[in-house]
Chains A and B, each alone.
Chain A
Amino acid sequence: MSVIQCAAKGIRESTARPKMVVLLWAFNLMVAGLCYFVFLRMFGGAVGTSALVKEMAHKADMNVVVEFLTSGGGGVVTELLFVVLGASVLYTLLAIFLHGGILQTLIQKGGGWRFVETFFAGGGRFYGRFFRLEIYSLGLWMAAGLVFVLINSVINFNYHDSAGEQTMFVLTIIKIVLALFLVFLIKMIMDYARILIAGRDSREVLRSLFEAVRLVLKKPGTTLALYYLLGLVGWASFLIYRVLDSAFPQTSTATIAIGFLLAQVFIASRGWLKVAYQAAQGRVIGLI
């Protein structure tokens, strides 16, 4: 099956499961919602009663943001970072569960009234294995880090001439691209490892991880092309969201609500894309 066929299949599978997309969106909203209330309390407490914010509904005033961030002697920034960090940890743990749910649903073709049961059963069933996978993946992250450091050192050694700022600029871009490539590569390997575990109901997590690495090394063209093809779909949805979001002034309660809904549609599209990824990747190895 070609890359495009796999991608199309993944998109079809994902589109056919609106309930799953809604569930993924709801979990995201639930965790981020905690941040909403914390921010609302902090922002309201710092500048909410101030006349400063009266223009905020019309335009983003950086001066108000500055006043907010510097209020309380800068403690606001620390608190916000702490909140975002906490939400990230919570969501990462939750995502392990969600991955299990997605794969169980795709593999068992669960639908209709049994969808929620299938999803949650999958989340619970694979949680331990996927959690271990995350732990084992630290090895991959360390290896990727090592590769990055080595390439970085070689670049720095060969191009430390101070007059070559143009070259250094290009090399910095290359380093960033390399770092992103390594990050996405590991995320892709992890996707395949999860599919292998769930598709075979295997408890051999480490072996599945190695097998996923082997698969990616064996079929780099197919796996990478599929990953980046679907990535383009994600970027396209982001651009559409940004264009639509900036197309109208969000100054009234109604338009603010429309802006919020647009953002939620975009976040839902991220969940939709994740399902599409897993379905398409499962197709590549014939397990979904």
Chain B
Amino acid sequence: MRRSVPVFAAIFLLMTSALFAALSRPIASYNIKARLIPDEKKVAGSEVLTWLNDSDLPVSELRFHLYLNAFKNSRTTFMKESGGSSRGFKADKDNWGFMTVERIRIQDGNDLTPSLVFLQSDDGNADDQTVMKVDLPAPLPPGEKIVVAIEFTSKLPKVFARSGFSGDFFMVGQWFPKIGVFQSGAWNCHQYHASSEFFADYGTYHVELTAPEKFVVGATGKRTGETKNADGTKTYVYDQEDVHDFAWTACPDFVEFRETYVLAESGVKTEMILLVHRSHVKQKDRYSQALRNGLEFYSQSYGPYPYETITLVDPAPGAMGAGGMEYPTLFTAGTTVWMPRGVRFPEMVTIHEFGHGYWYGMVGSNEFEEAWLDEGINTYSEIKAMSKYYGEDRSMIDFAGLKIGSVAYNRMSVIGSGRFDPILKNAWDYISGGSYSANVYAKAGLMLLTLEKWLGEEVMSRLMKTYFERWKFRHPTSKDFVQVAEEVSGKDLGWFFSQVLHSPDRLDYAVSGLKAEEIAAGEGLFGGRSNGPLPKDSNAEKRPESVIKAYRNEVTVARYGEWIFPQEVLIVFDDGEKVRENWDGRDRWKRFVYQKTAKVVSAEVDPGHKMVLDANYGNNSRVLELKRPAIVKAALGFMAWVQGFLSLISF
């Protein structure tokens, strides 16, 4: 018994150490102290960064993102590319945002401030100061750590793109000097662009936030301390491991709700913290239920949610520019006072942004260079979650008789966009913001849905789980995703991804022709000798009128788009017979001919509706006889609407 005590103790220690072991390799860890100065819309801060040179090369300089400098003037790269607006919200020219680095030094060592310069490696725009570089006095050897202390002040802009203030609501994101990623022997530290998000290494964050007492504060991670200060402020301490960013929010009008979410089967136990603006409190239950749905869906589909907290921030009215944004263990949603239950915008945003906790938060792909890996995969996940919980045909809108599902919604986005860009390219290289979102979100989401229908739901489920499990807390690329897809499916999928990821073309297969012609008795001259008159078809007159008619049925299928996908074709005859044909889809068209006593009734390419990316469902099938009542009904409905409209405007 005595001997068993140390054995049990050892086992217990091993188990607990495994339980609390960091999930990621900490590369960039921060110890930050920050004070909110509400009247000046500023955050005064200091940070101590511990950075590990995880590469095989010595590093002689450090590069940092100073994201807030994107809002410093009208000529920054962000402002030039966006035209000073984001998702319909405009920049306030009286409230610029910027970040000042007062001092940067190696802790207990050299002052690096004199070597500070701004880099514009993406576009050479001298007015852009979103990336800074400092030289190290001596190269940092591989495997070594460096501790850097930085004093900074962040002036927040009037919020229109993710970060900033509106009245006394503060969404403080991308607010501190943040080191880039040293990858493949070089710094990956892009400027802040209009159509790009972020990329960073994992680490541990210990952050002390001080704000006036009246503010309700929420942040990435778990609150581990809270102190009242003599000057009427409070200091909140937050700690979080295995994240690559830290964001926080403060507003006196937040109503805080805390709920515990448990999913026993997956071992998930987390505290849901809902910071709902007082004017939206009536919609708290919608947020809460959507977040529960998200936690359940993602935990079951990909892997258990591992963090102890998840914070939902409901932006204040007038601050919707801060809405719909993800940060580790915290995200912003969005709603308005009047939001009908059937308009599922708050639910969609909640599930989508929570989902980024997986695709961006835990699977840390590069949002600058391969945005589809987080936005596309997350749109795919969101479509599936929304369809599961709110109904496939009405998951987006179910209001006043109008029903629109997530798939239809995303298809509209893809079909409505021009064919200028592929899914995979640098986020700032798209022809427009619309093209960026249509490709990176909708088209990539539908691509994965098409892949799922192609491979089967079970294979796709294993694929996604494997990808998540293999790449969580690391930085995968598109190649890694394709590699996992091929490995799990056991198929060569190069043909699929090379078309959809890299080409701006489209998928459009159609039934271009359908006819059934009665095979009539022959007319004219048949057989006979080479010279002299030929006899008439001697059999024609002998055929009785009552013989069963025969038809020559022709079905022509066509490829109108550039992408090539193998197709299944379903042909239905009027005697109920169904014929399935396979077509490799390579040629521009193919004709199937059947001589039968039955007439063809209809033909359809992709009868299993696997090709969600198909640009035109309307031409996928064809019937021999028009469904006249349906068409007339639609036209009459339109006419009645026009009649009402005309009488309204003129009488």
Residues of A within 8 A of B (CB): 28-29, 31-33, 35-36, 39-40, 43-44, 46-57, 60, 62-64, 66-68, 70-71, 73-74, 84, 87-88, 91-92, 94-95, 161-166, 168-169, 250, 252-253, 256, 259-260, 263, 266-267, 270-271, 273-274
B636 touching A259, Cβ below 8 Å: yes
B630 touching A57, Cβ below 8 Å: yes
Residues of B contacting A52 with CB < 8 Å?
Answer: 617-618, 620-621
Residues of B contacting A28 with CB < 8 Å?
Answer: 643, 646-647
Residues of B contacting A60 with CB < 8 Å?
Answer: 401, 637
Residues of A contacting B401 with CB < 8 Å?
Answer: 60
Cα(A177)–Cα(B646), bound, Å: 21
| A56 to B, closest residue via Cβ | B630
Cα(A271)–Cα(B643), bound, Å: 11
Cα(A166)–Cα(B336), bound, Å: 9
Is B602 among interface residues, defined by CB-CB distance under 8 A?
yes
A163 touching B253, Cβ below 8 Å: yes
9 residue pairs from A and B, CB less than 8 Å apart: A32-B643, A36-B642, A40-B632, A84-B642, A163-B167, A165-B336, A166-B279, A267-B644, A273-B651
Residues of A contacting B253 with CB < 8 Å?
Answer: 163
A260 touching B317, Cβ below 8 Å: no
A252 touching B629, Cβ below 8 Å: yes
Is B634 among interface residues, defined by CB-CB distance under 8 A?
yes
A50 touching B618, Cβ below 8 Å: yes
A74 touching B415, Cβ below 8 Å: yes
B642 touching A35, Cβ below 8 Å: yes
* A interface SS class: helix
B651 touching A35, Cβ below 8 Å: no
Residues of B contacting A266 with CB < 8 Å?
Answer: 644
Residues of A contacting B633 with CB < 8 Å?
Answer: 56-57, 250, 256, 259
Is B404 among interface residues, defined by CB-CB distance under 8 A?
yes
Known: A54-B623, A92-B649. A43 touches B631 (CB 8 A): yes
A39 touching B634, Cβ below 8 Å: yes
A165 touching B646, Cβ below 8 Å: no
CB distance from A137 to the nearest CB of B (A): 13
Residues of A contacting B645 with CB < 8 Å?
Answer: 84, 88
| B404 to A, closest residue via Cβ | A62
User: Number of contact residues on B: which range applies?
Assistant: 35 or more
Is B616 among interface residues, defined by CB-CB distance under 8 A?
yes
Residues of B contacting A270 with CB < 8 Å?
Answer: 644, 647, 651
Known: A164-B317, A274-B651. A68 touches B643 (CB 8 A): no
Residues of A contacting B280 with CB < 8 Å?
Answer: 165
Residues of B contacting A87 with CB < 8 Å?
Answer: 642, 646
A56 touching B634, Cβ below 8 Å: yes
A267 touching B402, Cβ below 8 Å: no
Contact check: which of B279, B616, B631, B638 meets A165 at CB < 8 Å?
Answer: B279
CB distance from A214 to the nearest CB of B (A): 24
CB distance from B558 to the nearest CB of A (A): 14
Is B435 among interface residues, defined by CB-CB distance under 8 A?
no
Residues of A contacting B604 with CB < 8 Å?
Answer: 51
| A256 to B, closest residue via Cβ | B633
Chain B 161-182 near chain A by CB (<8 Å), digits 1 or 0: 0000011110000000000000
| A83 to B, closest residue via Cβ | B642
A-facing residues in B608-634 (Cβ within 8 Å): 616-623, 626-627, 629-634
Residues of A contacting B643 with CB < 8 Å?
Answer: 28-29, 32, 263, 267
A51 touching B647, Cβ below 8 Å: no
Contact check: which of B166, B402, B403, B627 meets A57 at CB < 8 Å?
Answer: B627
CB distance from A26 to the nearest CB of B (A): 11
Known: A162-B169, A168-B317, A252-B629. A49 touches B635 (CB 8 A): no
Contact check: which of B337, B393, B415 meets A166 at CB < 8 Å?
Answer: B337
Cα(A161)–Cα(B316), bound, Å: 11
Residues of B contacting A35 with CB < 8 Å?
Answer: 638-639, 642
A43 touching B634, Cβ below 8 Å: yes
Cα(A223)–Cα(B336), bound, Å: 38
Contact check: which of A46, A162, A169 meets B338 at CB < 8 Å?
Answer: A169
B621 touching A51, Cβ below 8 Å: yes
Contact check: which of B404, B616, B651 meets A95 at CB < 8 Å?
Answer: B651
Residues of B contacting A51 with CB < 8 Å?
Answer: 602, 604, 621-623
| A29 to B, closest residue via Cβ | B643
Residues of A contacting B630 with CB < 8 Å?
Answer: 53-57
A50 touching B629, Cβ below 8 Å: no
Residues of A contacting B22 with CB < 8 Å?
Answer: none
Cα(A256)–Cα(B404), bound, Å: 24
A49 touching B646, Cβ below 8 Å: no
A88 touching B646, Cβ below 8 Å: yes
CB distance from B400 to the nearest CB of A (A): 12
B629 touching A66, Cβ below 8 Å: no
Cα(A61)–Cα(B340), bound, Å: 21
B622 touching A50, Cβ below 8 Å: yes
Q: Which interface residue of B336, B337, B642 has the most chain A CB atoms within 10 A?
A: B642
CB distance from B432 to the nearest CB of A (A): 15
| A33 to B, closest residue via Cβ | B639
A267 touching B337, Cβ below 8 Å: no
Residues of B contacting A50 with CB < 8 Å?
Answer: 617-623
